[in-house]
Structure 1
């Protein structure tokens, strides 16, 4: 009989005979075969379960992977949180071996509070520790998932300039080899005055590459056509290919004619090739400089974003933190074709804050906005000074958050994302950092086409 089986369940110790009979009458015995799921994350919560015998594993899906939260043997229970809150199951329950359970529907579960108060006492004692453990694990996964996303974006951002620098360095080696050969050849052919003219064009070309002339596309095309035609008429190999570089280096037909007046036909061909390789080497050096400069900027942004080697709480530049966050997330923003508008109040002073934690706030809100926008949209980031406080507003022009769920978005574990794609802790963390850590406020305004998170931070944190 079910009553006899329930007597051996640790959770039901010290119950009276009438209480055992009530459980047997109002509950229902069910069985789950090994490997089968009792319920899955996101399923409607219909029952509270107590393991009679067997083994039940509780997991949660995050980013496509299942993480074990707990394992229940005889007396273990599951489903109490969603039953109490009226929300779907927040985890998966799978039988490790053939498992028998007692299940209570919503009416019986709530009636149990008055019929079997000793069970309720045990349930809530266990529930307190369980929630803390689950929340701690989920927060850690949220942080690791966010870190993984940022790391992936940074890897792409760093790879582009690193690859460009490597290509430029490889090309520079070949270019310098040919340049040395031509220099040695021309050194035995040209007079000092002729070589001075050539090196003057080289110096002026380097300056033109450093500070390029503003040309519209039509004017540039005309110059390239003129130079390409001139080179072709003078039997210069690959003339059309090098025309663009020579134009970038300030060369035009008049300068080429001046060079031709000083040199023989053979010397002219070698001299133009020398100019091409000299300007090419300069251009490649600039590319290496730009690429390594970009890498340096990213490393600096990462260090600033994380407040590495700095005190946790200090006077921080709010705008710098927002810019660092946008730079760190630039790859994801670009990947989703999202534009950023900035409206920063220059009167905003440094504020007393935990800088790295605020950057986590900006990251979570902007990341949610990216997810909401999909493959196109706009995010506006603005600040303003308001007495002894500063307001930060992050807005997007996405579909908006339905009015009926707006009051719940800061609740732990509440998420509008598909099962396994979010822990429901991103905005809970945001709320804790702003309200609990910084004595600030956060407000949400949302309608289709306009979602705004408005955050107030005191300039001096108490």
Structure 2
């Protein structure tokens, strides 16, 4: 354990050397020789007069992180270890400091808290000066003050560089973890699309064999060729809101049912998604009467589904590319390329990427897209990431068969996007923490606590904000972004 002499007071005599013991004279000589060579021994004597000599055993803690008791330490013999840790006790910094030297002046002069835990490594002998006595020494000993401030300036610059590097590394770590979090969605979408493409190719192969056995008339070939070309030219699904989509699926499903088509209500959504209506299929019904209509429609639906999956793979690969480009831009402190983004199209693309997740939980999605919304100039991959995070959280929040709503509108000079769900809600005490890094209300292994923090930083970079309104059974995130965005956003 540490041993110490009683706390003295500053000697007010002009010559602090007067009355010093032989042991104290040895300490003064050591300080002058090893640490404060440019400081007169008279000032060093004043230092010794207010210091406590202390001895520490191996492993003894001199100071802890966030310690608010500020002492000035002079190491005469031995060694200490400085460490800094994260909340989960992982070491961020570790350094050994060997006598002779001093420490603690940065915490006192900067009026902060200790940033390190200081632990003795082996036997340690030194001097301790309280904060009150330190300030008295700084006022009455100009040469000592100059020596301490000179070292303080050098150490402060070094720590500033170190802090900057640490913050950058931590930010890069957050970006990397966020990237891995985001890559999961397009990766899963592309994998699922590839699997469906394989199924469609097998279906089309079997249908092609049946077609070859029958042969077709000129009118049948003309109708099939025309419809197939329309399907192949449909690069992506038609963008429509939930009410339009539901009405068109019901109308086409009824038409198929009336014509005796099996599995009509499963065929209708795919055909509607690429813009097909019952009027477009009239030539097919005329050319293939009765039961003959089934196989051409299955062929058409398989072709449409394949085009959808190809578009989904393209979208997924583009999202991966955009995410990688965003990280590269951040690392090199450059500016990402800007585009003119249609909010409705951006949300529609994200909903497509997450479609498999909606299906897995049988989630109903209601879309209310505002009309005539002005385009937004931005780094579009960033806002796609916002939609992905908010929708992914909503999917996790709702129960099986739950409901998610997506709305867009314009008000004054701002664009708004609302993403809501009918999950259990976020307790009020937790709402103030949800945008903090690594804070999550999800079970262990489900959430990283990173998505909302990333989303908030992206939206704020466009001079926007995210609002949360939550109660049991109704949670809504509202994203506001001014559509006149600065070019350096």
Q: Same fold (TM over 0.5)?
A: yes
Q: CA deviation at 1:103?
A: 1.2
Structure 1 residues 343 and 150: alpha-carbon distance in aligned structure 2, compared to 1, 3 A threshold: farther
**Which of the two has greater helix per residue?**
1
Q: CA deviation at 1:159?
A: 4.0
Aligned 1:82-101 pairs, distance under 5 A: 82-101=107-126
SS in structure 1 at match of 2:194: helix
Which of structures 1 and 2 has the larger relative contact order (alpha carbons within 8 angstroms, sep 6+)? 1
Partner deviation per Cα, 1:55-78 (whole Å, 9 max, x = no partner) = 212234468643446422222221
The residue number in structure 2 matching 1:43 is 67
Q: What is the RMSD computed on CA atoms of the aligned residues?
A: 4.6
Q: Distance in 2 between matches of 1:141 and 1:132?
A: 14
1:54 paired to 2:75: no
Partner deviation per Cα, 1:77-130 (whole Å, 9 max, x = no partner) = 211012123222233322233434321112211232366555444434433332
Aligned 1:54-453 pairs, distance under 5 A: 54-61=78-85, 65-68=90-93, 70-113=95-138, 119-193=144-218, 194-207=220-233, 210=236, 212=238, 214=240, 216-232=241-257, 236-253=261-278, 256=281, 258-263=283-288, 265-301=290-326, 327-328=381-382, 331=385, 335=389, 394=463
Q: Distance in 1 between matches of 2:383 and 2:259?
A: 52
8 A contact 1:245–1:279 mirrored in 2: yes
SS in structure 2 at match of 1:188: helix
Structure 2 unaligned blocks of 5 or more: 6-22, 340-375, 392-407, 415-434, 438-451, 468-485
Structure 1 residues 22 and 55: alpha-carbon distance in aligned structure 2, compared to 1, 3 A threshold: same
8 A contact 2:237–2:273 mirrored in 1: no
> Which region of structure 1 is more displaced relative to structure 2, 96-105 or 219-228?
219-228
Q: CA deviation at 1:281?
A: 1.0
8 A contact 1:35–1:95 mirrored in 2: yes
8 A contact 1:40–1:92 mirrored in 2: yes
Q: Distance in 2 between matches of 1:304 and 1:341?
A: 32
Aligned 1:6-21 pairs, distance under 5 A: 6=27, 8=30, 10-11=34-35
Structure 1 residues 16 and 40: alpha-carbon distance in aligned structure 2, compared to 1, 3 A threshold: same
Q: Distance in 1 between matches of 2:315 and 2:100?
A: 65
> Which region of structure 1 is more displaced relative to structure 2, 245-254 or 80-89?
245-254
8 A contact 1:208–1:248 mirrored in 2: no
Partner deviation per Cα, 1:421-459 (whole Å, 9 max, x = no partner) = xxxxxxxxxxxxxxxxxxxxxxxxxxxxxxxxxxx99xx
Q: Distance in 1 between matches of 2:285 and 2:170?
A: 64
8 A contact 1:302–1:324 mirrored in 2: no
8 A contact 1:57–1:95 mirrored in 2: yes
SS in structure 2 at match of 1:41: coil
Structure 1 unaligned blocks of 5 or more: 345-369, 383-393, 399-455, 458-462
8 A contact 2:252–2:277 mirrored in 1: yes
8 A contact 1:48–1:106 mirrored in 2: yes
Q: CA deviation at 1:283?
A: 1.3
Q: Distance in 1 between matches of 2:282 and 2:114?
A: 81
Structure 1 residues 151 and 204: alpha-carbon distance in aligned structure 2, compared to 1, 3 A threshold: same
SS in structure 2 at match of 1:103: strand
Q: Distance in 1 between matches of 2:331 and 2:287?
A: 61
Q: CA deviation at 1:395?
A: 7.0
SS in structure 1 at match of 2:172: helix
Q: Distance in 2 between matches of 1:330 and 1:251?
A: 28
1:29 paired to 2:53: yes
Q: Distance in 2 between matches of 1:296 and 1:37?
A: 50
Q: CA deviation at 1:190?
A: 3.5
